[in-house]
Structure 1
Amino acid sequence: MVSLFSYDLTYLSLGTFMLTGLLIGMAKTGVHGMGMIAVPLLAASFGGKDSSGLMLPMLIMADIFGVSYYHRHAEWKHLLRLFPWAIVGVLLGTWIGNEIDDQVFRTIMGVIIFLSLGIMIWLEKVNKDKIPDYWWFAMILGVAAGFTTMVGNLAGSAMALYLLSMRLPKNEFIGTAAWFFMAINWFKVPFHIWSWHTISLNSILLDLTVLPMIAIGAYLGIKVIKKVSDQNFRWFIMIMTALAAVFMVF
């Protein structure tokens, strides 16, 4: 047993915590899907709601690495479309976060993601030039991203579906996602502190201990993504998004 900043951790919990930091670092520099693995890992050790508050500062630290490396590649027109709807989603998630049943939520989102993936794959095979550049498409996925990131730090799938549907190249995909999550994660902090009470000084100090693992993960993510072509990156993201949907359902 290890005591850190009012937390009594078993060696297994401490190891899981460090592994979570590594996975988050990789996710923020392009290896999407790693974050979906990190969410249930942390929840198993710290509980669902408490783990969401514990993970948020880790995500913000990792966002800094992602934005620092990919900041020049962001497509701001997509960010400006998504931000207002994502804010609505965060507020909605804050409001009903104490009432929603986790399993029902995960099942619904998993089904939606599978249906959206089916549409994306159909577009990929049948009409590669068709881009669903509609306001309602940004609205649906923007609200979904804001809602899911507030309730369970699970917005990666909604963002992946939107950015892949826009046919963004690899670096633009990562850069746009990095800026989106940097802004939204900072926006979520006050709600975690004063509404859900899931972030405290002790939780922030505990999060700081994992910063070296986040940095290592960010470095590994950059190295891995450099070796992946744009087309392979698209299929990699689709596969990881499908796996993320399976995680949410089961």
Structure 2
Amino acid sequence: MSLDFFKMVALPELGSTFWITAVFTVTLIGISKAGFGSGPGVIATPLLSLVMPVAAAAALLLPILLMVDVFVVHQYRREVDAPNLRRLLPGALVGIVLGGLFFYQFSSNERVLKVSIGVLAVGFVLYQLMRGRLTRPRPASRWDSTSPAGVLVGAFSGFISTLAHVGGPPVVIYLLPQQLPRRLFVGTTAVFFFIVNLIKLIPYALLGLLVVGNLWMTLLLLPVAVVGVRIGVWLNGRFTDTWFNRVVYVILLLVGIQLILGQSLIGIVLN
């Protein structure tokens, strides 16, 4: 099954709303990956899916994510926890395969994809609220890098990352209890998702999601991503992530609800 990017998103349809949303989204990707270990980056695909089809949003974001990963990995290249990577990556490979199969099965059903992403977005925010992650400090370490849970976390992360580039939360939740130094935490997640995103190129190519012609949008948005990375690196160690997370998760909750309902929240309120 092949998905033609330009049939789904014709160039004349890419108006100001798309570009404003895209610039905001890509900036957040850079900030979150470089400054906060990619957790808040879960907002990217759900937010962009408001102004374009899910498959098109995922296809547009993957090259940008890879380019951001290159910058972030370069910044933190000497601060990586190899044992955690060895535990997470095998499961991630399995998850990517399963995610590609799911995408293939439902690629023609936009409603199923949007609802799925909306449920992931809302579910993540609710989980964070229940665990008190928005306000509480990091919990005491309970897992180590040899925990079998790492394989399962990697598989789940790979699966949902393939669907919507939202694989960050499971990995963040897995690493946080280990109380890694912040730079080691960010560096480990950066390398993990760089490898995951490279592997995701395979199912995306097989699904026909990667079209050379859409690289012009990636190139236009790349400077925005670089700015986001620079901001994120500057914020790391200077700015607590609590308030940043709160703002991002409120937006993510609203976006998730809107994707599930299939209509604008403003329109619902006015009606």
Deviation at 1:15, TM superposition (A): 2.4
Distance 1:145 1:117, change over 3 A: farther
Pairing of 1:5-154 with structure 2 (within 5 A): 7-8=11-12, 9-31=14-36, 32-99=38-105, 101-102=112-113, 103-104=115-116, 106-107=118-119, 111=123, 114=126, 128-131=140-143, 135-154=147-166
Q: What's the C-alpha RMSD, in Å, of the aligned pairs?
A: 3.1
> Take 1:116 and 1:17, find their aligned partners in 2: how far apart are those partners?
26
Distance 1:112 1:138, change over 3 A: farther
Distance 1:217 1:198, change over 3 A: same
The runs of 5 or more residues in structure 1 that have no matched partner are: none
> Take 1:157 and 1:34, find their aligned partners in 2: how far apart are those partners?
8
Distance 1:119 1:41, change over 3 A: closer
More displaced stretch, 54-63 vs 12-21: 12-21
Work out whether 1:156 is the aligned partner of 2:168: yes
CA contact (8 A) 1:88 1:146 kept: yes
CA contact (8 A) 1:159 1:177 kept: yes
Work out whether 1:221 is the aligned partner of 2:232: yes
Work out whether 1:189 is the aligned partner of 2:201: yes
> Take 2:75 and 2:248, find their aligned partners in 1: how far apart are those partners?
23
> Take 1:216 and 1:179, find their aligned partners in 2: how far apart are those partners?
20
In the other structure, the counterpart of 2:178 is 166
Distance 1:241 1:14, change over 3 A: closer
SS in structure 1 at match of 2:63: helix
The runs of 5 or more residues in structure 2 that have no matched partner are: 1-8, 107-111, 258-271
Work out whether 1:206 is the aligned partner of 2:217: yes
Distance 1:83 1:33, change over 3 A: closer
CA contact (8 A) 2:31 2:230 kept: yes
Deviation at 1:91, TM superposition (A): 0.2
2:59 maps to amino acid: G
> Take 1:36 and 1:178, find their aligned partners in 2: how far apart are those partners?
14
TM-score w.r.t. length of structure 2:
0.76
> Take 1:220 and 1:127, find their aligned partners in 2: how far apart are those partners?
27
Deviation at 1:61, TM superposition (A): 0.7
> Take 1:110 and 1:6, find their aligned partners in 2: how far apart are those partners?
30
1:191 maps to amino acid: P
In the other structure, the counterpart of 2:268 is none
> Take 1:190 and 1:143, find their aligned partners in 2: how far apart are those partners?
17
TM-score w.r.t. length of structure 1:
0.82
More displaced stretch, 41-50 vs 181-190: 41-50
* Runs (4+) off by over 6 Å: 124-127
Deviation at 1:60, TM superposition (A): 0.4
**Could you report, residue by residue, the CA deviation over 1:147-202 in whole angstroms, capped at 9, with x for unpaired residues?**
010011111111111111222121111000000011110111121112x2111111
Distance 1:248 1:45, change over 3 A: closer
Question: Alignment identity in percent?
Answer: 24
1:217 maps to amino acid: G
